[in-house]
A and B are shown apart, each in its own frame.
Chain A
Amino acid sequence: QITLKESGPTLVKPTQTLTLTCTFSGFSLNTSEVGVAWIRQPPGKALEWLALIYWDDDKRYSPSLKSRLTITKDTSKNRVVLTMTNMDPVDTATYYCAHSPDIVRWFDHWGQGTLVTVSS
């Protein structure tokens, strides 16, 4: 059974760096073609993909946010970490991590999400 859970601060100040951790079970990020993505959703708005890390440590980022994002994995601890620099109130959103089973990049399991508010 695949599960994912996001953790991190619920409140960050503008200009600070956000660090979120996705802790997962039921699969290995050493398995060929598997990936883990971060996706966010501002209140009342659509889903927005942020970043993706592959089993082979290849990484992809949203073109519009690429300069602010870093995604890493710790396979031994079954964790994926996302950092986002220079946070702004418009970054207020629920942040999800999700499992991608193959190279076409769809998401069959999602975490419950964590709401991050950016405010001074």
Chain B
Amino acid sequence: SYVLTQPPSVSVAPGKTARITCGGNNIASKSVHWYQQKPGQAPLLVMYYDSDRPSGIPERFSGSNSGNTATLTISRVEAGDEADYYCQVWDSTSDDRYVLFGGGTKLTVL
């Protein structure tokens, strides 16, 4: 079965750039979506179809997907960006189609 691999944690200083990766076999062939989750809150969609931003999400958030790695990039990181981030794909390559989440990455703003 398909597996999405995320680093457990990423740390970045305020004002710097954070890159959160999501690894999967030929993940570039799939659409990757990203969610931000702050403590005690439901997940919030921050990126869909690899690099599309929902309305209300700052332009500081961007996404890319190539080869075996998808990346969520957060520029000019702010304290309010501290959260868990999850990547997600729809695996439709088999008859048993399903949703898959990565294990999540905790972003710490130093």
A residues neighboring B (CB under 8 Å): 37, 39, 46-49, 52, 60-63, 96, 104-108, 110-113
> For B96, what are the chain A residues with a Cβ–Cβ distance below 8 Å?
60, 63
**Given A49-B101, A104-B31, A106-B88, list of 7 further CB < 8 A pairs?**
A49-B99, A60-B97, A63-B96, A104-B49, A104-B90, A105-B99, A107-B35
Q: Which of B97, B98, B104 contacts A46 (CB 8 A)?
A: B104
Kindly state the separation between the CA atoms of A112 and B41 in the bound complex, as whole angstroms.
Answer: 7
**Chain B interface size range:** 20 to 34
Candidate in A49, A62, A105, A106 with the most chain B CB atoms within 10 angstroms: A106
> For B86, what are the chain A residues with a Cβ–Cβ distance below 8 Å?
46-47
Interface of A (DSSP majority class): loop
Knowing A46-B86, A47-B86 touch, does A110 contact B98 (C-beta < 8 A)?
A: no
Shortest distance between the CB of A5 and any CB in chain B (Å):
11
B residues neighboring A (CB under 8 Å): 1, 31, 33, 35, 37, 42-45, 48-49, 54, 86, 88, 90, 96-104
Kindly state the separation between the CA atoms of A82 and B96 in the bound complex, as whole angstroms.
Answer: 19
Kindly state the separation between the CA atoms of A49 and B42 in the bound complex, as whole angstroms.
Answer: 14
